[in-house]
Amino acid sequence: MINKVVSNADEAIKDIANGHTLMLGGFGLCGIPENCIAALVKKGVKDLTCISNNAGVDGFGIGLMLETRQVKKMISSYVGENAEFERQLLSGELEVELIPQGTLATRCLAAGYGIPAIFTPAGVGTEVADGKETRNFSGKDYLMEYAFDADFALVKAWKGDTAGNLIFRSTSRNFNPIMAMAGKVTIAEVEELVQAGELDPDHIHTPGVYVHRIFQGEAYEKRIEQRTVRKKD
Amino acid sequence: MINKVVSNADEAIKDIANGHTLMLGGFGLCGIPENCIAALVKKGVKDLTCISNNAGVDGFGIGLMLETRQVKKMISSYVGENAEFERQLLSGELEVELIPQGTLATRCLAAGYGIPAIFTPAGVGTEVADGKETRNFSGKDYLMEYAFDADFALVKAWKGDTAGNLIFRSTSRNFNPIMAMAGKVTIAEVEELVQAGELDPDHIHTPGVYVHRIFQGEAYEKRIEQRTVRKKD
Amino acid sequence: MLDKNGIAKRIAKEIKDGYYVNLGIGIPTLVANYIPNGINVELQSENGLLGMGPFPFEGEEDPDLINAGKQTITTLPGSSIFDSAMSFGMIRAQKIDLTILGAMEVSENGDIANWKIPGKMVKGMGGAMDLVASAKNIIVAMQHINKAGESKLLPACTLPLTGVKCIKKIVTELAVLDVLPEGGFKLLERAPGVSVDFIKQSTAGKLVVEGEILEMLID
Amino acid sequence: MLDKNGIAKRIAKEIKDGYYVNLGIGIPTLVANYIPNGINVELQSENGLLGMGPFPFEGEEDPDLINAGKQTITTLPGSSIFDSAMSFGMIRAQKIDLTILGAMEVSENGDIANWKIPGKMVKGMGGAMDLVASAKNIIVAMQHINKAGESKLLPACTLPLTGVKCIKKIVTELAVLDVLPEGGFKLLERAPGVSVDFIKQSTAGKLVVEGEILEMLID
């Protein structure tokens, strides 16, 4: 067994430097690497390019890194719900590349699977297609999209073991497993870190070979963006 | 919940006809759809094109369909261990297309993910590259390979539920989940069929949306191809 | 004239037994409330869930279980969880039978614009471009006319496109319409109390009216 | 001169702590028996397993748990199971640190042939083409000369290729050699009792010999 355990978020991110490209797992505020984000804010590393489906909200998630002006560019599919984000974007402090959510996901998968490019119909005939190669297969047009190239992937799992194997819980899975596969260096924070052998090999979502560092996170806030409920009859 | 249950293998394969292209899950004899193969032999449907990593052995697996001359063409990565296969191949009765195992797997994945073509380095500079488009990405050559187009996928899972969700056991997973995603019609046979709600949504390998028909198989033989053991000290 | 719930009710009648359905944000989300009894449907949420259930009871919210609108939800028996690549994989591979989403504009050749207004803060397309480019069967829930009375069913979209030649059916506060393969909006039904003439006035794109147009049945 | 176990022993010394390793069928499989103590390694089996363990005890064979050679095996703590697409995904993405496989011929520019002999029944390439095209670090375990005494380290392969310009290190019954980026086999070590002259005679491709060539240390 190859041991991937590091002591905490600070140690896990110690070689993330100014100008790096990071992938951050999560959908909205669900399944985001809270501990790694806090450590990045503390470290103060800047000029980061962040690949993440969303950009957090004011005061939470990637929103925290926006407040400290650490992000140079966001690559996302949807960036609403964040006033500071909007301010920086409109003032030209922040660069944003918007790409379709499925394209974002598939470019992660392609990186993790060693596939340099794939074809998707998303964005054909729209401004997303500008400058891209279009190709027809069986009468339908597709865009060629490239695998992402990220220095680090920061992901959050529910359980992990010392060998780096990860299991995600419910819809907090989202982009986490595919970003875990895509990072040149992948850092996983987990709610519960167990010994190798305690997880069922059949239930592992991300094999440890894709994970370079793992630690047990602390004080997960797991903020809810839209609390929707129904009343009991 | 959308119910996918059919009563048995005969009902599941009833519309498989002469000349169809079938995917069959399994690696060697591990995780093969034993009940579906038996039903195909019984039905006597012929001129089949079979996409399967291997072609079974004499008297078991796809070997049974070879004995009854039901297979026109095999698309596989490795076809050793089968004397009848060899006889039919050398006599010209059987057509064989050999493709690299990873290409086979990725062409299944591409079909299941609606990606018409992908790029892989496997086979560059070899006879596998003949007639294929070669393309350079970041200094390395890749072949363009197309998604498979199969009429039916026949897969074997350990557990399944009435909604068609599948869970595989150990290395009998192999090609089964990716072929399940790739078939126009996917038929799953399982060792144990349970009610929807009995499987943990986090542990499902193949979501029911990919499975059109499911039934509980019977009398699994699970033959071992290479029984290798060690002695207790 | 239909309100939002009326549009959702009418769309719900298009859902067939055994459908996997993706519901967009806004009016489409309301459709889930009107799926007829006896019709078995599974809802897909593109953040990675099949078999989406209703909102949780108060106090039972799970921050790890949300839909694509970031709302807390529940699962149902038979549901499954998967990553974002598989989620859009099944969308692209057309395993989802029906996609219902909103639009700002639709053109008579089936183009749709629903993600960007020049000059306004752009939030992004989310999964909309993947959905419209991939789905075999899309119903648009939208307002026929804006507050100024201007038509949103146009000869050509004026806003940046989300997808081209992909919309086949539209349900508005005024009517149900098909987009014809050769171009044009074919009027199928009118909302209660709405005249064909008013629909004609309210449709800037080519409107095709053939035979008697019946008032739609909702309840 | 080394026997098969000797070749496997010598290759085992190339394995570093923390390596993920894919072992091919034949001599490479034997390497697992000689991994030094204190070296933590995980073995990948391309049918879908990381963390492959030894053969099961008699009576404990599980037909659902086999390796790429279809042999019954076991798992170890920390192992994981995945489908064939992910298995070759991690191979293509170079997450596997070292691939060890056999060969019929290797050329002085690093081409390898190991899957097909014209005129004989062709069984297929299995995962070999994916492995050689993807791995960043490949060691070939092979016989230097065939039974007729003819070299299998050639200026150019005569058999159909498995991959081009991909082999960097070779261990044979006679020697350890690197394939130089500019072409040529660089002699690094000789097997016990084997002379440099004999290796020269046994190598049809360009052989580069610089300085003193030491006998390899195995045990």
Model pLDDT, residue C217? 86
Nearest-CA residue of chain D relative to B225?
D70
Q: What is the mean pLDDT of chain D?
A: 96
Test the B interface: residue of C80, C92, C95, C129 with most B CBs within 10 Å: C80
Q: How far is A232 from chain C (nearest CA, A)?
A: 6
Q: Identify whether the C-beta of residue D129 lies closer than 8 Å to the C-beta of residue D169.
A: no
- Which whole-number Å values give the CA distances from A32 to A21, A160, B76, D162, in the listed order? 17, 15, 41, 43
CA B49 to chain centre: 12
CA C188 to chain centre: 17
- Contact state of D160 with B126 under an 8 Å Cβ cutoff: yes
B-chain residues near C95 (CB < 8 A):
209-210
Model pLDDT, residue A173? 98
CA angle B219, B221, B226 (to 5 degrees): 170
DSSP A107-175: HHHHHHTT-SEEEE-TTTTSGGGTTS-EEEETTEEEEEEEPP-EEEEEEEEEEEETT--EE--GGG-TT
Decide: C and D in contact? Rule: 3+ Cβ pairs under 8 Å: no
- Chains B, D: CB pairs < 8 Å: 177
**Ranges of chain C with pLDDT below 50:** none
A-chain residues near C64 (CB < 8 A):
30-31, 158, 169-172, 222
Q: Tokens 């010394």: give the residue.
A: D13
A-chain residues near B142 (CB < 8 A):
116
d(CA A142, CA A140): 7
Model pLDDT, residue A175? 98
Residues of B at the C interface, defined by Cβ within 8 angstroms = 1-3, 111-115, 161-163, 165, 181, 195-197, 201-202, 204, 207-210
- Contact state of B201 with A170 under an 8 Å Cβ cutoff: yes
Residue A192: strand, helix, or coil: strand
Percent of chain B whose predicted confidence (pLDDT) is above 70: 100
Choose among B115, B169, B201: nearest Cβ to A118. B115
Nearest-CA residue of chain C relative to A109?
C85
Choose among A110, A142, A203: nearest Cβ to B116. A142
Q: Where are the domains of chain A?
A: 9-216
Helices (H), C76-206: 84-92, 128-134, 196-201
Model pLDDT, residue A1? 85
- Contact state of A117 with B119 under an 8 Å Cβ cutoff: yes
Helices (H), C32-102: 84-92
Model pLDDT, residue B233? 72
Q: How far is B216 from chain C (nearest CA, A)?
A: 17
Q: Is B167 on the interface with A (CB under 8 A)?
A: yes
DSSP A49-68: EEE-S---BTTBTHHHHHHT
D-chain residues near A153 (CB < 8 A):
none
Q: How far is A17 from chain D (nearest CA, A)?
A: 23
Q: Which of C14, C42, C46, C58 is catalytic?
A: C46
Q: pLDDT per residue over B38-55, tens digit each? A: 999 999 999 999 999 999
Q: Tokens 């990565």: give the residue.
A: B77
Model pLDDT, residue C120? 87
Model pLDDT, residue A39? 98
According to DSSP, the residues that pair with B117 across neighbouring strands are: B146
Residues sharing a CB contact under 8 Å with residue D217, sequence separation 6 or more, in sequence order:
none
Residues sharing a CB contact under 8 Å with residue B200, sequence separation 6 or more, in sequence order:
none
Choose among B158, B174, B226: nearest Cβ to D84. B174
Choose among A115, A116, A142: nearest Cβ to B138. A116
d(CA D183, CA D156): 11
- Contact state of A113 with D85 under an 8 Å Cβ cutoff: yes
B55 phi, psi to nearest 5 deg: -115, 25
Q: How far is D51 from chain A (nearest CA, A)?
A: 7
Q: Is A59 on the interface with B (CB under 8 A)?
A: no
Q: Is D77 on the interface with A (CB under 8 A)?
A: yes
d(CA A24, CA A180): 9
- Chains A, B: CB pairs < 8 Å: 52
Q: Is B171 on the interface with A (CB under 8 A)?
A: no
- Contact state of B3 with C85 under an 8 Å Cβ cutoff: no
Helices (H), chain C: 4-12, 27-31, 84-92, 128-134, 196-201
> Which conformational region is residue C119 in: left (phi greater than 0), alpha (psi within -120 to 50 degrees), or beta?
left
- Contact state of C71 with A228 under an 8 Å Cβ cutoff: yes
- Contact state of B204 with C81 under an 8 Å Cβ cutoff: yes
- Other Cβ atoms less than 10 A from the Cβ of D24: the count is 24
- Which whole-number Å values give the CA distances from B141 to A134, B124, D97, D134, D144, in the listed order? 20, 7, 21, 11, 30
Q: Which of D46, D105, D108, D173 is catalytic?
A: D46
Region B113-124: what's the mean pLDDT?
Answer: 98
d(CA B40, CA B62): 10
Nearest-CA residue of chain C relative to A97?
C124
- Is pLDDT above 80 for B80? no
- Is pLDDT above 90 for B78? yes
Q: Grade residue B14 by pLDDT with cuts at 50, 70 and 90.
A: very high
D-chain residues near B76 (CB < 8 A):
124
According to DSSP, the residues that pair with B98 across neighbouring strands are: B76
Model pLDDT, residue D145? 97
Q: Is D76 on the interface with A (CB under 8 A)?
A: yes
Q: pLDDT per residue over A144-202, tens digit each? A: 999 999 999 999 999 999 999 999 999 999 999 999 999 999 999 999 999 999 999 99
Q: Is D47 on the interface with B (CB under 8 A)?
A: yes
A-chain residues near C112 (CB < 8 A):
none
Q: pLDDT per residue over C147-193, tens digit each? A: 999 999 999 999 999 999 999 999 999 999 999 999 999 999 999 99
Q: How far is B95 from chain C (nearest CA, A)?
A: 29
Would residue D46 show up in a list of annotated catalytic residues for this protein?
yes
Model pLDDT, residue C94? 97
- Pairing relationship of beta strands B95-98 and D49-52 according to DSSP bridges: unpaired
- Is pLDDT above 90 for D39? yes
Residues sharing a CB contact under 8 Å with residue A29, sequence separation 6 or more, in sequence order:
A56, A57, A60, A61, A222, A223, A224, A225, C63, C70
Region A39-58: what's the mean pLDDT?
Answer: 97
Q: Report the complex ipTM.
A: 0.97
d(CA D99, CA D83): 19
Region B146-171: what's the mean pLDDT?
Answer: 98
Q: Identify whether the C-beta of residue C169 lies closer than 8 Å to the C-beta of residue C179.
A: yes
Q: pLDDT per residue over D96-134, tens digit each? A: 999 999 999 999 999 999 999 998 888 999 999 999 999
- Contact state of B116 with A202 under an 8 Å Cβ cutoff: no
- Is pLDDT above 80 for A80? no
Q: Please report all neighbours of C, defined by 3+ CB atom pairs within 8 A.
A: A, B
B222 phi, psi to nearest 5 deg: 45, 60
Q: Is A202 on the interface with B (CB under 8 A)?
A: yes
- The b-or-e profile of B68-101 (16+ CB within 10 A means b, else e) is eebbbebbbbbbbbbebbbebbeeeebebebbbb
- Contact state of B116 with A137 under an 8 Å Cβ cutoff: yes
Q: Is D76 on the interface with B (CB under 8 A)?
A: no
Model pLDDT, residue D120? 87
- Is pLDDT above 80 for A233? no
Q: Tokens 């391309």: give the residue.
A: D46
Superfamily (CATH H level) for A9-216: Glutaconate Coenzyme A-transferase (3.40.1080.10)
Nearest-CA residue of chain B relative to C76?
B197
CB hemisphere CA count around C11 (13 angstroms):
34
Q: Is D12 on the interface with B (CB under 8 A)?
A: no
Q: pLDDT per residue over C185-208, tens digit each? A: 999 999 999 999 999 999 999 999
- Contact state of A114 with D75 under an 8 Å Cβ cutoff: no
Q: Identify whether the C-beta of residue B88 lies closer than 8 Å to the C-beta of residue B66.
A: yes
A60-64, A108-112, C33-37, C204-208: segment of lowest average pLDDT: C33-37
Nearest-CA residue of chain B relative to A136?
B116
Residues sharing a CB contact under 8 Å with residue D163, sequence separation 6 or more, in sequence order:
B124, B125, B126, D111, D112, D128, D129, D132, D133
Q: pLDDT per residue over A206-226, tens digit each? A: 999 999 999 999 999 999 999
Model pLDDT, residue D26? 87
- The b-or-e profile of A131-164 (16+ CB within 10 A means b, else e) is eeeeeeeeeeebbbbebbebbbbbbbbbbbbbbb
- Contact state of A170 with B202 under an 8 Å Cβ cutoff: yes
Dihedral angle, C-alpha B96, B101, B105, B111, nearest 10 °: -40
Nearest-CA residue of chain A relative to B114?
A120
Q: What is the mean pLDDT of chain C?
A: 96
Choose among D48, D88, D121: nearest Cβ to B86. D121
- Contact state of A202 with B170 under an 8 Å Cβ cutoff: yes
Q: Identify whether the C-beta of residue C45 lies closer than 8 Å to the C-beta of residue A171.
A: yes
Q: Is C52 on the interface with B (CB under 8 A)?
A: no
- Contact state of A169 with B106 under an 8 Å Cβ cutoff: no
Model pLDDT, residue C25? 87
Model pLDDT, residue C119? 86
